[in-house]
Amino acid sequence: MSKKMHIKLKVNGKDEEFLAEPRELLIYTLRERLNITGPHIGCETSHCGACTVTINGKSVKSCTMFAAQADGAEVTTIEGIGGPDNLHPLQEAFREHHGLQCGYCTPGMITRASKLLEENPNPTEEEIRFGMAGNICRCTGYQNIVKSIQAAATEMNAAKEAAE
């Protein structure tokens, strides 16, 4: 066993501090240490995107980053995006347009989609498919995921306009 490291993270706006071995992968820190179980483990081999979180403004597969690498970073998981009492427009749209079936991929999908819409508030279908290519879904066939993201984009843009 190697020396434990003192690691600080800000997760969904809350400061967290703990001691961990350098080999601890961020997904385990989130799920098992901090009990933030929204990000899922689908493949554990960097392919499926179920573990996607946002780290310092980038979509990252948290199964492919050590907690030590994220030391000092801001992390957002699906829990930080919205919850049962305050659904994010993406969550609302996935529910409305059947963007999920089993739901296993959904936290990663929505976390990635939130970043995609931040970078490109008006994506075409092709841009959505390309921008979501790191997230795999075994159920939906993607059609309704694309629809959900389009609907959320429309909704978010309308809300932004109304606010201006």
Partner 1 sequence: MIPVAFEYYRPKDMAGVLSLLEEHGDDARVMAGGHSLIPMMKLRMADVSHLIDLQDVDGMSEIEIDNDAIRIGAMVTQADIIDHPELAKVAPILREAALQIADPQVRYMGTVGGNVANGDPGNDMPGLMQCLDANFTVIGPDDEREIPARDFYEAAYMTAREDEEVLTAVTIPRPAGGYAYEKQKRKIGDYATAAAAVQIVKDGDKCASASIAMTNLSDTPIYSEAAGAALVGTSVDDAALTAAVAAMWGDIDPTEDNRGPVAFKNHVAGIILRRAIERAWSRA
Residues found near ligand FAD in the complex (CB under 6 A): 46-47
| Position 64 contacts partner 1 (CB under 8 A) | yes
| Position 58 contacts partner 1 (CB under 8 A) | yes
Phi and psi (nearest 5°) for 152?
Answer: -65, -40
Q: How far is the CB of 64 from ligand FAD (least distance, A)?
A: 6
Q: How many CB atoms lie within 10 A of CB 82?
A: 16
Q: Of the two residues 20 and 136, which places its CB atom closer to ligand FAD in the complex?
A: 136
Q: Of the two residues 46 and 154, which places its CB atom closer to ligand FAD in the complex?
A: 46
| Position 49 contacts partner 1 (CB under 8 A) | yes
Tokens 């984009």 belong to residue: 153
Q: Of the two residues 66 and 94, which places its CB atom closer to ligand FAD in the complex?
A: 66
| Position 141 contacts ligand FES (CB under 6 A) | no
Q: What is the DSSP letter of 64?
A: G
| Among ligand FES, ligand FAD, partner 1, none, residue 147 binds (CB under 5-8 Å by kind) | none
| Position 31 contacts ligand FES (CB under 6 A) | no
Strand partners, 75: 11, 55
Distance in angstroms (rounded) separating the CA atoms of residues 95 and 63: 27
Among 16, 92, 101, 129, which residue interacts with ligand FES (rule: CB under 6 A)? 101
Q: In whole angstroms, how far apart are CA 132 and each of 52, 59, 89, 104, 127?
A: 11, 11, 17, 15, 8
Instruction: Identify the burial level of 104 via C-beta atoms within 10 angstroms of its C-beta, where 0-12 means exposed, 13-18 middle and 19 or more buried.
Output: middle
| Contact residues: partner 1, CB under 8 A | 1-3, 5, 21-23, 25, 44-47, 49, 52, 58-61, 64-66, 68-69, 71, 112, 116, 130-134
